Amino acid sequence: MYNYDLPTDMKDINIDEYTYDLPPYRIAQYPVIERDRSQLLINRNNIIEKDIFRNIDNYLPSGSLLVFNNTRVIKARLLFQKATGASIEILCLEPLTPTDYSLSFSSRVPVEWKCLVGNLKKWKNGFLTTPFKHNGIQYALFAEKILTDDETSLIKFSWNCSDISFGEVIEFTGHIPLPPYINREDEKEDAIRYQTVYSSIKGSVAAPTAGLHFTDHVLEKLKEKGIKTAELTLHVGAGTFQPVKTRNVYQHDMHSEHFLIDAKTIKQILADSGKIIAVGTTSVRTLESLYWLGVKLFQNPANKSSNLSLGQWEAYSLPTSVSVEESLGALLNYIIEMKVNYLKAETRIMIIPGYEFKIINGLITNFHQPKSTLLLLISAWIGNGWKDIYNFALNNNFRFLSYGDSSLLLK
């Protein structure tokens, strides 16, 4: 299926070994009343403790640099009803025309998006319509199916109000796309609680949930203790909830995600190398992808492509001898030579047990689904000790998944 030369033991990883018994009642359906009052599991020096998240500053190594994903969840879930009464649900995944998120959200003319369509068989052809109000006047959002492949559809959206943008239209008409394991409709409060307090760049269909526990109070305490912070942007896709359906992990098809990072942040990561704490698995995927993209540019400095990308298993076939300084230096040179303000790239990296981490030195994350790529990433970081951590969480009434509790995993 793939041409990359992974070690044999990594090609034979059985997903059945990365599971645990998660009772449905342990899956948090709502967040705790106060964000920073969630439980915090701390794993350091092979010792597991618990506290509340508000006190996380007591456990972070001195001089740490916390790297946050500042993506913002959009109201990507759009509900339509045909004249026949059939309900059609459209989940916006990523913009195609124009491809830039900000340009798509600011567009006042029709846009095209890659989407998942629920009840697709009921939508043979024609336009779907859903109403919305703007300044007390009723308008309509229209959806037209242009093309459908095995899983996704190309949908053209238009609306009959020329003085508002597509971003405003979906704010009026859309719903927060809660994860499938939250068994309820979205509520008004979710528009606030399913966002991090520092979210700023629109584009995700799922929250970077490790960041949901942070408050202005916690961030201020970190600042007082000399803990530094930096931000990058990775737009989280619906693929984050996709379970590994193949018994052999190597045969799983990883989703792609787009990310942005500016030169200032890359320089900060370089200056604080050895002290990097990733806030969430999306930050991990971005930071580790950065290293490997830098390796590719270090190997081929003449590469002037504006479409940087990292394949699912590509990291496992690239040379590991390139230092972090050389890798990130190549990225900074690329930004200068391309005369851009930030690095824009796409990654499909799949981090599995046996992966050698290059950038991160710690991880703040929630508790993840059995047989998921995220649980594989946790195992890659912490080893078989993940089982002890998850057993501790289960035995100490921790809440699981997106609206659940948090952990700080240090080696």
What residue segments make up the domains of the chain, in order of their start?
8-72+192-410, 76-174
pTM of the predicted model, to two decimals?
A: 0.94
| 143-193 residue pLDDT tens | 999 999 878 999 999 999 999 999 999 999 999 999 999 999 999 999 999
Query: What are 118's two structure tokens?
Result: 């629920």
- Which of the pair, 4 or 183, is modelled with greater confidence? 183
Question: According to the model, what pLDDT value does residue 255 have?
Answer: 87
Nearest to 178 by CA among 20, 314, 29: 29
Q: What are phi and psi of 317, to 5 degrees?
A: -110, -5
Q: What are phi and psi of 56, to 5 degrees?
A: -60, -25
The Cα–Cα gap between 350 and 374 comes to 9
Band of pLDDT at residue 4, cut at 50, 70 and 90: low
Residue 302 has pLDDT above 90, yes or no: no
Band of pLDDT at residue 384, cut at 50, 70 and 90: very high
Please state which of the four CATH numbers 3.40.710.10, 3.40.1780.10, 3.40.50.960, 3.20.20.70 is assigned to the domain occupying 8-72+192-410.
3.40.1780.10
**Cβ 178 vs Cβ 184: under 8 Å:** yes
Q: What is the DSSP letter of 400?
A: B
Nearest to 156 by CA among 90, 100, 221, 210: 90
Question: Which residue shows structure tokens 């500016």?
Answer: 262
Question: According to the model, what pLDDT value does residue 405 have?
Answer: 98
Residue 331 has pLDDT above 80, yes or no: yes
| 30-79 residue pLDDT tens | 999 999 999 999 999 889 999 999 999 999 999 999 999 999 999 999 99
| 89-121 residue pLDDT tens | 999 999 999 999 999 999 999 999 999 999 998
> Mean pLDDT over residues 228-255, rounded?
90
